[in-house]
Amino acid sequence: MKAAIAAVPYASVVKTGLQFRRRFWEEDEQIFGGISYTNLPIRQISYPSTGFNAGGKGVLLGGYTWGGPNSYELTAMSPADRIKVALDCGAQIHPQYASEFETGISVAWHRVPFTLGCAGEWTDEARRQHYDNLCQIDGRIVLAGEHASYIPAWQEGAILSALDAITRLHKRILASR
């Protein structure tokens, strides 16, 4: 299990949220929810799926960079610099960014103290070598989470893994009675 734990690195992911004075994507461009996929370092802009036509302020997911050089480069920047990048990139698609931006927030998962990374990054080879060992009950230790599932990074994987771990633990306790 130790070897299996050491063999799964964590994916580098950065998200940036941007608050604007008005929901210009709805008011000017009739965009209601959905995502603009780009070839820029921000990768995508995701529009809110709630509060349509409510007027007032709005928040966009102004960047969602998963893996690749840009995710590391953004992680190495200060949150303020990441927001500058998100504004610079996003303004190439929505010129309203320049006049409507209010404030922003940025998270790089490798800098989140309680996870130090976004999600388990498996390869087929690592799965073959280590997955079964990672999911064993080893003495008093049993692991559960997205990293111990075939749906890494998703809540579904974490929940399935939790159900699986508890089921196996329960069986083992009953068998030992």
Partner 1 sequence: MPKAFCCALLLVAVLAAGAAAAGEALAPATLPLSRGRIFEEQGGAALFASVCAGCHQPDASGASGAAAYPALADNSNVASADYMERLLLYGQRGMPPVGQMMSDQQIADVINYVRTHFGNAYGDTLSGADVERARRQTGSSP
Binding residues (CB under 8 A) for partner 1: these are: 5-12, 41, 68-70, 72-77, 81-82, 84-85, 87-88, 91-92, 95, 97-99, 101, 108, 110-117, 121
- Residue 51 or residue 95: which is nearer to partner 1 going by CB? 95
> Quick one: 80 or 173, whose CB is closer to partner 1?
80
Parallel/antiparallel/unpaired status of strands 101-108 and 35-37: unpaired
Smallest Cα–Cα separation from 108: which of 148, 142, 81? 81
Decide whether 123 or 167 has the Cβ nearer to partner 1.
123
Q: How many CA atoms lie within 13 A of 106 on its CB side?
A: 24
169/175 Cα distance (integer angstroms): 10
State the minimum distance, in angstroms, from the CB of residue 72 to partner 1: 5
For the bound state, the minimum distance from the C-beta of residue 139 to partner 1, rounded and expressed in Å, comes to 20
CB of 45 to partner 1, least distance (A): 15
By C-beta, is 110 or 168 nearer to partner 1?
A: 110
Q: Which amino acid type is present at position 88?
A: D
CA separation for the pair 143, 26 (Å, rounded): 44
Closest separation between CB of residue 105 and partner 1, Å?
Answer: 15
How many CB atoms are closer than 10 A to CB 94? Answer: 19
